[in-house]
Amino acid sequence: MKNNGLTGLRLCRDCDLLVKIPSFENSPGWKQQAVCPRCGYCLEQHQPSSVLISLALVVTGLLLFLPANMLPVLSMEIMGNVRQSTVMVGALALHDEGLIVVAWLVIATAIVIPLLRLLILFYVLLAVITASMHRTAARMFRWYTHLGEWGMMEIYVLSVLISIIKLADMANVNIGYGLYCFVALMLVELIISIYLNPHALWNQLGKNHES
Amino acid sequence: MNLEYSRGIDKGLILCLDCQKICQDNEQTCPRCSSKLGRRKANSLSRSWALTLAAMILYIPANVLHIMTVSKLGDGKPETIMSGIMTLINQNMLTIAGLVFVASILVPLLKLLILFWLLLNVQLRRLASDNQIKMYRLIIWIGRWSMLDIFIISLLAGLVQYGHLGTVTAGPAAYAFASVVVLTMWAAKSFDPRLLWDVSALENNKPSIKEPDYG
């Protein structure tokens, strides 16, 4: 950050209070927080996270993406008839029944947005490592935060579990390999969201294009 | 710089909501991430009102129309959200019934009521309290979980296609319900919590009485 008298100052996102916060640089406490004294919003968290480990997590997620979406999540059997379903098949079933927008919503929140977030993060982390392309990376990183609440993999996993129990009295329901990959992908996204320090990434993106 | 009870808006500072950089208020876009800057979220009140009211209207068809039809051996019975939960209770699946009730009925209703209440508070210039900001954070956090029912329907409709033996088809309420989820998430996002605190800055005469532009 440029030294224009604003060093150490934060504006609270939720109540617009101007707050001076201590520097976390020599502080050992993981996840130690500076919170807004008025509304309790977390202004900054001490969270040293390595770019390379983040990148490794993102690559893990990208590798899991294809099997999670290609392999069947659930399969079910009534009197010898076996049907298998991936995330996509469920969405297409809605599409066939005329609920086109709902089908797109499922595809977007369970498949496309989680993938998009991983790809954006991949690009941003590469930009930070190679110290280039910061303008584009900054523009894309904005989308990463905007899309955050629209990626709903964990909700999808819960809905799979509920469906299994609901269908259990009707037929034989089996869990497919796709579900294991899907859960793993969900966990990777969860770990990324806990581990990643957006504040530090923004600072690095900002530093490089100023110089 | 005297920091006691200063708002950014009084010091000529704007927070970039995308990258959290503090910018000067003569800047149009954030120098770091080039997103548009504004003292408060653009048209926050009118946008959240419109979206909340639209969601309130759609909440009715979402609960009255049938959300899916489960047919076994030829005879189908259309279910609404509530009758689906009753079926689960009759089958003694109380935990799932509870989960679906919370995600599909309680959470959307709570979200609508809280949004309505927050907007009224700003409109009537009520002082900000801990409860308001807590409620705001609650709806931001739980809002997404209402998608649960939509996902369950898509899974069932994709799997249970056995012709005469049994089929599950989605009903028109799924449209209305999905709209309620998206509209309320959008409304909560458009709402600017700083408006709640601006009221208290006006009431306390501290440190300045500059009226923020509510837009």
The domain limits of chain A are 9-45, 51-210
Phi and psi, residue A13, nearest 5°: -70, -30
Q: Which of A11, A88, A162 lies closest to B84, judged by CA? A: A162
Q: Do A102 and B174 touch (CB under 8 A)?
A: yes
Mutation pick from A1, A7, A11, A154 vs chain B, by most beta carbons of B within 10 Å, is A11
Query: What are the pLDDT digits (tens) for B98-127?
Result: 988 998 999 999 999 999 999 998 888 877
pLDDT at B215: 44
Range from A34-38, B116-120, B164-168 carrying the lowest mean pLDDT: B164-168
The CATH number of domain B41-204, selected from 3.30.450, 1.10.3470, 1.20.140, 1.10.150? 1.20.140
Query: Hey, is the C-beta of B6 within 8 angstroms of any chain A C-beta?
Result: yes
Query: What are the pLDDT digits (tens) for A152-211?
Result: 999 999 999 988 988 887 778 889 999 999 999 999 999 999 899 888 888 888 875 554
Mutation pick from A13, A120, A159, A160 vs chain B, by most beta carbons of B within 10 Å, is A159
| Local confidence band at B192 (pLDDT 50, 70, 90 cut-offs) | very high
pLDDT at B1: 45
Query: Hey, is the C-beta of B67 within 8 angstroms of any chain A C-beta?
Result: no
Query: What are the pLDDT digits (tens) for A57-78?
Result: 999 999 999 999 999 998 888 8
On the CB side of B32, how many CA atoms lie within 13 Å of its CA? 23
Query: What are the pLDDT digits (tens) for B35-54?
Result: 889 889 989 999 999 999 99
Nearest residue of chain B to residue A21 (CA atoms): B3
pLDDT at A211: 41
Phi and psi, residue B15, nearest 5°: -90, 130
The CATH number of domain A51-210, selected from 3.40.50, 1.20.140, 1.20.950, 1.10.1060? 1.20.140
pLDDT at A69: 93
- Please give the span between the terminal C-alpha atoms of chain A, in angstroms, as a whole number: 11
Tokens 């469920």 correspond to A90
